[in-house]
């Protein structure tokens, strides 16, 4: 049995708490490793190492910090296949999807090469009599990230790359369900030239999380996960005086207008709804065809596509469309919600409740399911399923459809498929959701724009990556400067004003 480690002060360190979590192979259901769960003392040791190393790193020229990111990118490309295999083995994703996980994180690292530009301040010469004003962005000190199981490469890089590029040290608490890739990323950052102590990986559970939230030397916390935990972390870390950004759950809708290309829409729904077994915060989980005629035509196209999806282990290569869920508990929860949908009156158009994969009977596989005639009051609509289940809610009109997406308590992503530009523009302007796709099912912005949902999908003022990352991981210092030649008239006791 492999025993994993923390990565503290530039080297692997065995766990000292005596507590461990199980890391499964989701395809077989077997425990493949033990991961140490850190104590508060271990978390503090990582913070103290970061605190010691950070001032020297902050003093490094931003261009030189960007060069570390450039070398890290080269190493990611070099080790892409090895990282993807590790990711697939622990998470269950197909190899192409694992590569995509790494690639979307890599793109944020690429954006961080522009750090010298984004850290430039502002300057106003002669703002007053012999007075110059200028501002500069300075690092916060130590930031921390608490990241989820569903993107074990991408989201850690979304967090630590801009934080470190800004001159901060970073404490990463990855998911204990698939922790190996984050540790490998820390190794590669060290190989790329990052000083020891700047990136620490501390594995753990709620003990480590609470230690992060309460630690006086951690200035900022970022989180991605479920909404209840996002609300908890946001409130606790804010109460401790930290800067916080938390991203929670989702219930993403895709509206299909009567004029849409239904073949294109059906393909988009299958890819967006069932990719990664639905374990994506941006997965489309609700199809909203407008009008019964549109709905009937869409279902006629969807049913055979969903029935033909291939489920299996990542080792099957190109012969599999999606793999298992992350844990047995996740599988049981998804199957329970499917059963509740049937019980509450939804029409189960594609039913794979009896799905079992020969040779992998103990794996955490769930076959693809497709519901029709789902209503707002059903559990499968109200809950984020996080599995290979697509629900169809028929809308009577465009106004009904836009209201469905806007009134939902989550506001992560939404899409509309239409050939009409006026409808699309109206939808983009009015819908109460943070990220919108037009004939594009998963509207995850590229690295140079920001990612973030609204309502119960996002907590905090700033989004992930893009320019917002530099605002989040730095603070502004403003300097008013006048040299001695200008202060010979004696003290002034009144507030300075422009003359």
pLDDT tops 90 at residue 128: no
Virtual torsion, Cα 192, 195, 197, 199, nearest 10 deg: -30
For residue 434, the Cα-to-chain-centroid distance in whole angstroms is 14
Query: How long a stretch of residues is the chain?
Result: 499
Q: Exposed (0-12), middle (13-18) or buried (19+): which is 74, by Cβ within 10 Å? A: exposed
Split at pLDDT 50, 70, 90, the class of 129 is confident
Residue 259 half-sphere exposure, CB side, CA atoms within 13 Å?
Answer: 8
SS3 of residue 27 by DSSP = coil
- Mean pLDDT within 224-252: 96
Residue 57 half-sphere exposure, CB side, CA atoms within 13 Å?
Answer: 28
- By the 8 A CB rule, do 472 and 245 touch? yes
pLDDT value, residue 495: 81
pLDDT (tens digit per residue) in 262-275: 999 999 999 999 99
Closest CA to 125 of 434, 481, 376: 481
Percent of the chain with pLDDT over 70: 98
Inter-CA distances, 372 with 152, 237, 390, Å: 33, 41, 9
Residues with active-site annotation: 281
- Name 98's Cβ contacts closer than 8 Å, sequence gap at least 6: 83, 84, 85, 87, 88, 91, 153, 314
- By the 8 A CB rule, do 82 and 229 touch? no
pLDDT (tens digit per residue) in 287-303: 999 999 999 999 999 99
Rounded Cα gap, residues 387 and 365, in angstroms: 10
Task: Give, for 272, the enclosing helix (H) or strand (E).
Answer: helix 262-274
CATH second-level architecture of 2-248+457-479? 3-Layer(aba) Sandwich (3.40)
Split at pLDDT 50, 70, 90, the class of 318 is confident
Rounded Cα gap, residues 461 and 330, in angstroms: 31
- By the 8 A CB rule, do 126 and 142 touch? no
Looking up tokens 């992060």 gives 212
pLDDT value, residue 494: 79
In 18-79, alpha helices (H): 40-58, 62-78
- What's the mean pLDDT when you consider all of the chain? 96
Split at pLDDT 50, 70, 90, the class of 374 is very high
pTM: 0.94
Domains of the chain, residue spans: 2-248+457-479, 252-438
Inter-CA distances, 395 with 286, 303, 354, Å: 12, 19, 31
pLDDT tops 60 at residue 487: no
**Residue 58, phi then psi, degrees to nearest 5:** -65, -30
Q: Which CATH number describes the domain made up of 252-438?
A: 3.40.309.10
Strand order in the sheet with 142-146: 11-13, 6-8, 199-201, 169-173, 142-146, 220-224, 243-247, 458-459
- By the 8 A CB rule, do 6 and 71 touch? no
In 378-481, alpha helices (H): 379-382, 398-407, 421-430, 467-472
pLDDT value, residue 94: 97
- By the 8 A CB rule, do 170 and 473 touch? no
SS3 of residue 350 by DSSP = strand
Task: Give, for 22, the enclosing helix (H) or strand (E).
Answer: strand 20-25
pLDDT (tens digit per residue) in 425-466: 999 999 999 999 999 999 999 999 999 999 999 999 899 999
The full 3-state SS of 103-137, as one line of letters, equals: HHHHHHHHHHHHHHHHCCCEEEEEEECCEEEEEEE
pLDDT (tens digit per residue) in 64-85: 999 999 999 999 999 999 999 9
pLDDT (tens digit per residue) in 149-203: 999 999 999 999 999 999 999 999 999 999 999 999 999 999 999 999 999 999 9
pLDDT value, residue 300: 98
């Amino acid at each position: 049995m492999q025993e994993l480690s923390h990565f503290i002060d530039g080297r692997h360190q065995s766990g000292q708490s005596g507590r461990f979590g199980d890391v499964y192979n989701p395809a077989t259901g077997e425990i493949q490793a033990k991961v140490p769960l850190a104590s508060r003392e271990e978390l503090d040791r990582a913070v103290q190492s970061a605190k010691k190393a950070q001032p020297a790193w902050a003093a490094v020229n931003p261009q030189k910090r960007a060069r570390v990111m450039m070398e890290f990118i080269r190493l990611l490309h070099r080790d892409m296949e090895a990282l993807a295999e590790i990711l697939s083995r622990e998470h269950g994703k197909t190899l192409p999807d694992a590569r995509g996980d790494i690639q979307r994180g890599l793109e944020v690292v690429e954006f961080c090469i522009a750090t010298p530009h984004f850290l430039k301040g502002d300057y106003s010469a002669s703002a007053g009599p012999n007075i110059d004003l200028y501002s500069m962005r300075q690092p916060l000190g130590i930031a921390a990230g608490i990241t989820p199981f569903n993107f074990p490469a991408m989201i850690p890089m979304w967090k630590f790359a801009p934080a470190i590029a800004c001159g901060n040290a970073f404490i990463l608490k990855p998911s204990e369900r698939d922790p190996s890739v984050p540790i490998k990323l820390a190794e590669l950052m060290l190989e790329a030239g990052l000083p020891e102590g700047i990136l620490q990986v501390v594995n753990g559970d709620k003990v480590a999380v609470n230690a992060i939230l309460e630690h006086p030397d951690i200035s900022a916390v970022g989180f991605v996960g479920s909404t209840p935990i996002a609300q908890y972390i946001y409130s606790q870390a804010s109460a401790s005086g930290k800067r916080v950004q938390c991203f929670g759950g989702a219930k993403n809708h895709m509206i299909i207008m009567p004029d849409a290309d239904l073949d294109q829409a059906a393909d988009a729904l299958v890819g967006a709804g069932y990719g990664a077994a639905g374990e994506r915060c941006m997965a489309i989980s609700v199809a909203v065809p407008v009008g019964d005629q549109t709905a009937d035509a869409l279902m006629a196209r969807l049913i055979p596509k969903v029935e033909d999806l291939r489920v299996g282990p990542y080792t099957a290569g190109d012969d599999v469309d999606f793999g298992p869920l992350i844990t047995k508990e996740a599988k049981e929860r998804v199957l329970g919600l499917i059963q509740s949908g049937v019980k509450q009156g939804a029409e189960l158009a594609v039913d794979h409740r009896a799905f079992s994969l020969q040779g992998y009977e103990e794996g955490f596989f769930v076959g693809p399911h497709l519901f029709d005639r789902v209503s707002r009051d059903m559990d499968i609509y109200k809950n984020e399923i996080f599995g290979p289940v697509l629900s169809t809610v028929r809308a009577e009109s465009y106004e009904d459809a836009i209201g469905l997406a806007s009134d939902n308590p989550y506001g992560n992503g939404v899409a509309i498929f239409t050939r009409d530009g006026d409808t699309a523009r109206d939808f983009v302007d009015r819908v109460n959701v943070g990220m919108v796709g037009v004939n594009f099912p998963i509207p995850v912005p590229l690295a140079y724009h920001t990612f973030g949902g609204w309502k119960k999908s996002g907590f905090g003022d700033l989004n992930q990556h893009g320019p917002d990352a530099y605002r989040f991981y730095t603070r502004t210092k403003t300097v008013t400067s006048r040299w001695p030649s200008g202060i010979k008239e004696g003290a002034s006791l009144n507030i300075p004003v422009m003359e």
